[in-house]
Chain A
C-alpha cells in the first residue's frame, strides 16, 4: 500500500512575538469597548487607518475577524445565516461569514482570547472601496445595527496609471471625512500625530517588505502560509510602534535562516507564486500538501498587498491617497501583469498558482485570460485552483490535491 508522506511543518520562533502582539491588540480593543476609555473605529484592511490613529481611535479591522472565522472553519456554518437575511452566497464570504457570526452571536475571539466575547462595538465605521464594493455594504450593515455613522472613500477601479487627478480626488475624500471623525472622537485632528502615524505605517510597510523579500533566498526561509498569519501585525498594527518592533524580531530570525541556508521546508525543489486569497480553512492542509511535494509556495500577491512604499510623512494625505491607489487590487490588468512578472523574476519562481475564489472576483486574477498571457510571455506554467477564501462548500479537497500533485509532476517533467 503506498504510504502518504507525513509532513511536520516548521514554525518560526518569532511567530510567538507576533501572536503576543495580536493578543494585546484584541485585549486593548476589548477593554476600550467595555470601559469606554477610548473610541473605536472599524476600518477596512486598506482603509485610512493613519487618519484614525491621529484622532486617537483604536482601530479594529473586521476582515481579520473574517479570516479567523475562515481559519477556525466556523465560516461555512455561519455564511448561510447571512444568506438567509439577503446577502447572497455569491458575494464576499468574508462579509457573509462575519455578518453570520454577528447574527449567531459567536466569534473565534471568544475561543482564542479568554474574557473576550466578540468584536468591540464601534463608534464609527470607515471604509475604502479600493478592495471592492462589498466592504461598503458590509459596513453599512453594522452602521444600521450599531446606530453609528459610516463614512468612506470611493476609490477608482481598473487604474492604469495612478495620476495626479486620482490622488487629488482620494486625498479630498480623506480630508472630507475628518470633521465627522473629529466629532465622534471628540478630538481635534492633529497634523503632527497624523504625520507620525504615516511615518510608522511607512516603517511597518518597509519592514513587512523586508520580511516578504527574504523569500527570494534559495532556499526560502518563509512560506506564503507563514506569511498569511505573520501579516496580521501589518494589517491591524500599521501606524503603531509595537507592530514594527515585532517585525524586527521576525526579520532577524529570517536572516539567521538565510545565513544557515535553512529553508522553511525541507528539500525545496520547486518555488511557486500564489495569486489570490488563501483558503483560510485549509492553511495547514495546503502548507503540508506543498511541503510534502518538496515545493515552497513562497510569494504571493496577497501578502504583498500590505506594502505601501508611497507613504510619505512629509506629504501625508497625498501619499496615502497614492499608496492606497497604487495597490495591486485597484489596478488594470497591464500594471498587474507587469507586477507579477517582476515578482516571478525576483523570487525565481518555477510556477504560478491562481486561486479562483468563487466569492472574491476582485482577488481572482485568472478570469480574463491573465494566466494564458503571462504563461505565453514568461514560459512559466500556471495552474488555476477553484475554491474560496472562507466558504468550504466551494472547496473540493480531493480535486485541489490532484491538481496540485499533477502540476508538480508537470514541473518535474520540465526539469
Chain B
C-alpha cells in the first residue's frame, strides 16, 4: 500500500523559510526540502559518485528549483548517511537510523517496524506510537540482502538491473539460493544457468534471498513499512515480503527519500527548539 502527503500542485511557488535534509548514501544522494508546515516542496535523487560534496550541492540545486526557492532561504539543514560530513549546506548531522525513523513516522504516525533496504546496508528500526525508537538493527559486514547484491546478480545474469522487477512475477518455479554470501550466491546463479533454469525463476530466487536475509535480522511488529532505494526501484520486493509475512506492508510515497525527509524534519525541529 503506497501512501503519501505531497501535493505539489497546491503549494505556493515561493517559500521564504525552508529546511533541508541531505542523505548521502553509498549509492544515491537524496535531498528533501520542506517548508515550516512540514510539507515536502522539493527533492532530488542522484548517484553519489565519488565527490559527495559536489553531488550533494547538485542535488540541492535541483531540489531548490523544484521548490521554487533558493539557498538564501534555508533556515537549517541536517545531513545524514555515509557522506554526512561532506555536505556543504548542513549545520549538523543525524544518523540514517534516526532520519529514516523520523521520515517514516511522518508518513505513518503509529507504532511501526521500518525495513529500509539501501545500496550497501539494510536497517530494521522499531518505533513506538510516539515515534521513539525502541531498537534497531543494521546488516552485518556483508552485502547480502542489499542493493549491491541485486547489482551483482544482475551482472551475473547479464541483464540490466532495471529489468529484474518485471521478470520476477513471471516466475513459475522459483530457484532457491542457499548461500548467505554474495560471491557464493553468484556461483549458485551460474550453476542454475548452466542447468537450464529460467531467468525469471532465478530472479525471483534472488529477491527471495534478499527478503530472507532481512527477515533473519529481527522480528517485526504488527505494522511494517518498507523504504529505501531497493524498495523504490523494485516494488516486487514489497509484494514478496507481504507474501512471506502474511500481511500488507505500508510504503511511503517516496520510499527512497525518507532519510532525507527525516533529516529535513530534524532541521525544522532544531530551528524551532
Q: Does A4 contact B (CB under 8 A)?
A: yes
> Which chain A residues border B133 with CB–CB below 8 Å?
406, 409-410, 413
Pick the interface stretch among A29-37, A49-57, A393-401.
A393-401
Contact, CB under 8 Å: A402 / B90? no
Q: Does A381 contact B (CB under 8 A)?
A: yes
Contact, CB under 8 Å: A409 / B95? yes
The number of residue pairs between A and B whose CB atoms lie closer than 8 Å in the complex comes to 50
Contact, CB under 8 Å: B82 / A409? no
Pick the interface stretch among B135-143, B153-161, B165-173.
B135-143
The CA-CA distance from A414 to B128 in the complex, in Å, is 11
CB distance from A359 to the nearest CB of B (A): 14
> Which chain B residues border A381 with CB–CB below 8 Å?
134-135
Contact, CB under 8 Å: A2 / B93? yes
The CA-CA distance from A410 to B98 in the complex, in Å, is 8
Contact with B along A3-23 (1 / 0, CB 8 A): 010000000000000000000
Contact, CB under 8 Å: A402 / B135? no
> Which chain A residues border B94 with CB–CB below 8 Å?
409
Most buried by A among B92, B98, B132, B138: B138
Q: Does B86 contact A (CB under 8 A)?
A: yes
The CA-CA distance from A291 to B92 in the complex, in Å, is 18
> Which chain B residues border A398 with CB–CB below 8 Å?
82
Most buried by B among A381, A405, A414: A405
Contact, CB under 8 Å: B136 / A410? yes
Q: Does A1 contact B (CB under 8 A)?
A: yes
Q: How large is the interface on A (under 10, 10 to 19, 20 to 34, 35 or more residues)?
A: 10 to 19
Residue of B nearest to A402 (CB): B95
Q: Does B121 contact A (CB under 8 A)?
A: yes
Contact, CB under 8 Å: A1 / B132? no
With contact pairs A386-B140, A394-B141, A410-B136 given, residues A2 and B98 touching in the complex (Cβ less than 8 Å): no
Q: Does B70 contact A (CB under 8 A)?
A: no
Contact, CB under 8 Å: B90 / A405? no
Residue of B nearest to A411 (CB): B133
The CA-CA distance from A402 to B138 in the complex, in Å, is 9
Residue of B nearest to A3 (CB): B85
> Which chain B residues border A405 with CB–CB below 8 Å?
95
Residue of B nearest to A394 (CB): B141
Q: Which secondary structure characterizes the binding site on chain A?
A: helix
Query: Among residues 80 to 119 in chain A, which have CB atoms less than 8 Å away from a CB atom of chain B?
Result: none
Residue of B nearest to A408 (CB): B95
Q: Does A160 contact B (CB under 8 A)?
A: no
Q: Does B104 contact A (CB under 8 A)?
A: no
Contact, CB under 8 Å: A409 / B141? no
Q: Does A163 contact B (CB under 8 A)?
A: no
The CA-CA distance from A410 to B135 in the complex, in Å, is 8
> Which chain B residues border A284 with CB–CB below 8 Å?
none
Q: Does B96 contact A (CB under 8 A)?
A: yes
Most buried by A among B82, B94, B97, B132: B97
Q: Does A345 contact B (CB under 8 A)?
A: no
Q: Which secondary structure characterizes the binding site on chain B?
A: mixed
CB distance from B262 to the nearest CB of A (A): 11
Q: Does A267 contact B (CB under 8 A)?
A: no
> Which chain B residues border A2 with CB–CB below 8 Å?
79, 84-85, 87, 90-93
Question: How many chain B residues touch the partner (CB < 8 A)?
Answer: 25
With contact pairs A2-B87, A386-B141, A396-B141 given, residues A406 and B97 touching in the complex (Cβ less than 8 Å): yes
Residue of B nearest to A405 (CB): B95
Most buried by B among A381, A402, A403: A402
> Which chain B residues border A413 with CB–CB below 8 Å?
132-133
> Which chain B residues border A403 with CB–CB below 8 Å?
138
Contact, CB under 8 Å: B98 / A406? yes
Contact, CB under 8 Å: B85 / A1? yes
Contact with A along B24-57 (1 / 0, CB 8 A): 0000000000000000000000000000000000
Most buried by A among B82, B132, B134, B135: B135
CB distance from A83 to the nearest CB of B (A): 18
The CA-CA distance from A226 to B121 in the complex, in Å, is 32
Contact, CB under 8 Å: B98 / A1? no
> Which chain B residues border A409 with CB–CB below 8 Å?
94-95, 97-98, 133
CB distance from B28 to the nearest CB of A (A): 17
Q: Does B110 contact A (CB under 8 A)?
A: no
Most buried by A among B84, B88, B140: B140
CB distance from B94 to the nearest CB of A (A): 7
Contact, CB under 8 Å: B88 / A1? yes
With contact pairs A402-B95, A406-B97, A406-B98 given, residues A1 and B86 touching in the complex (Cβ less than 8 Å): yes
> Which chain A residues border B138 with CB–CB below 8 Å?
399, 402-403
CB distance from A389 to the nearest CB of B (A): 15
Query: Among residues 86 to 133 in chain B, which have CB atoms less than 8 Å away from a CB atom of chain A?
Result: 86-88, 90-98, 121, 132-133
> Which chain A residues border B97 with CB–CB below 8 Å?
402, 406, 409
Interface residue from A4, A386, A399, A414 paired with B85 (Cβ < 8 Å): A4
> Which chain A residues border B84 with CB–CB below 8 Å?
2
10 contacts between A and B (CB under 8 A): A2-B93, A4-B85, A375-B135, A381-B135, A396-B141, A402-B97, A405-B95, A409-B95, A409-B97, A410-B135
Q: Interface residues, chain A, CB within 8 Å of chain B? A: 1-2, 4, 375, 381, 386, 394, 396, 398-399, 402-403, 405-406, 409-410, 413-414
Q: Interface residues, chain B, CB within 8 Å of chain A? A: 79, 82, 84-88, 90-98, 121, 132-136, 138, 140-141
Closest 4 A/B residue pairs (Cβ): A406-B97, A406-B95, A413-B132, A410-B133
Given contacts A1-B85, A394-B141, A409-B133, list 18 more A-B pairs with CB under 8 A.
Answer: A1-B88, A1-B90, A2-B84, A2-B85, A2-B90, A2-B91, A375-B135, A398-B82, A399-B121, A402-B95, A402-B96, A403-B138, A405-B95, A406-B98, A406-B136, A409-B95, A410-B132, A410-B134
